[in-house]
Amino acid sequence: MTESTPGTVTDYNPATGAAVAELNLTDLAGMPERMARARAAQRQWARTPFKTRARHLRLMRDYIVDRAEDLASIVSESNGKTRIDALATEVLPCALACNWYGKHAGKLLAPKRRAGGHLLFANKSTTVEHLPLGVVGIISPWNYPLSIPFGEIAMALMAGNAVLLKVAAATPAVGRAIERIVAAGELPDGLFQHIVGSGSQVATALFDNGIDKLFFTGSVPAGKTLMAQAAQTLTPVSLELGGNDPMIVLADADLERATNGAAWAGYQNAGQSCGGVERIYVEEPVYDQFVALLAKKTRALRHGPGHRDGVEVDIGSLTTAGQLRTVQQHLEDALAKGARIEAQSQPVGDVEHGHFFPATLLTGVNDTMLTVCEETFGPIIAVESVADAEQALERANASNLALTSSIWTRDTRKGRALAARLETGVTTLNDHLYTHGLSEAPWGGWKESGIGRTHGPEGLLEMTNAKVINWDRLPAKRNLWWYPFDQATYKGLLHALRFAFPTGVGQWLGASLKLTPFLVRKMFSKWKVD
């Protein structure tokens, strides 16, 4: 996004430099009015049955399916990824999200009875309800400008909330496409609003105007800044802040599948996937064979602007000039410290006018290199040989980022046992970089990869406030521990404790015989006051 005339921004295709769209900046002075409209619409929406909410989502799903090719082209032109990539990882997950949340939110968020904890509270009954937060803010990134925010929009709406969305500054045209998708859902006016502007300025405006929760996907520094801002008003936040994902290849792995998966998960979206493979640890007996296979496949890949003159490519451009500089810096750092380029992808078409970087396979890497110890967020894969699975686990866990990881082995039982020891929010066996598309599975990481979860039942719960409602089954005048206090109350409480946790049958029987008449008398008699 580049500001052109005052009050507008222009979205440029990072693969070609051509202008994609021009949008008006949102006047943040009008945020109080926007928030008021959102709150009024949300109060109405919160009273809407889940089945009705689901019907609105189905209208959005139908729009997405009918206009899938147009949406894929918009994402491709705004973000720089290929249209096949956009269709598979952006458009399809949005339709799946409408379907899953529409079907399951009502059951997952319905009031639920909570079983009693002890006989002492046998007269108490409890339900837990999950009520809408109110108005939620979503600040989304440029690497998946459609699927990341739209999944959160679907969750928020099914949970009964209003949404204020701010898409990434680099991809505002996708925000306008989301406006059209949501408009197809025929929602109450003001329930969904798209805001165009600076991320930091919009975040401040959201906090200043009492947003009920903020969902942010982006960098670790930006996430820490937002969390510090949120602390001033104790506004809850959900933060997904990236990853430096390890892939562990055991000696018994299917190397054909492992190298296919590594190429996809490392180079897809030009490596701009927080859940993509960045580090690969291969057991020594198969290291050379793995590298040779992955090198052949890396060289077979094509990067370029794509789908012109009937030509499709595998990898598009990076989205921003700043990200291209970061990837270049990480490669230069690795080469200066002794890394070797084993293979790179081949350019197709005009790659001089876009933010292109070849898929690059590195060996001879070590933990001092930026591409190993930091998130590169580009199409570079670093491969290391390890003695065994234990050394691989140690290397994989030695990171401040812990979003996803994978283990590749034919022994599923062994793989699952090792997966439980990997310090990441998601671990997959013999696959990588797809679980964000599973609406039913929670998404999020540990350590500095963020806090909170989106997707699945856990993501829906993040969109709600938990509320306990508790009542008496039988009407009583007083509880055991209420006034007035006297020796009988003190002894009654002791009897209750010994009844609950007796040292033997005799103590339990004695306590129950003494407790019962006192409990009945206190609960069901009046407090006689002179």
Contact 528, 521 (CB under 8 A): no
3-class DSSP state of 15: coil
240 is catalytic: yes
CA end-to-end distance (rounded Å), the chain:
77
Structure tokens at 166: 């701010």
Query: Which residues is 402 bridged to in the sheet?
Result: 446
Integer Cα distance of 298 and 315 in angstroms: 11
**Dihedral sign, Cα of residue 362, residue 368, residue 373, residue 377:** negative
Within 8 A by CB and 6+ apart from 52, the residues are: none
| CA–CA distances in Å: residue 36 to residues 19, 133, 210, 358 | 35, 15, 10, 48
Integer Cα distance of 152 and 305 in angstroms: 30
How crowded is the C-beta side of 14, counted as CA atoms within 13 Å? 31
Catalytic residue among 240, 375, 423, 448: 240
Integer Cα distance of 350 and 266 in angstroms: 23
Phi-psi region of 431 (alpha: psi -120 to 50; beta: other; left: phi over 0): beta
Residue positions annotated with a catalytic role: 240
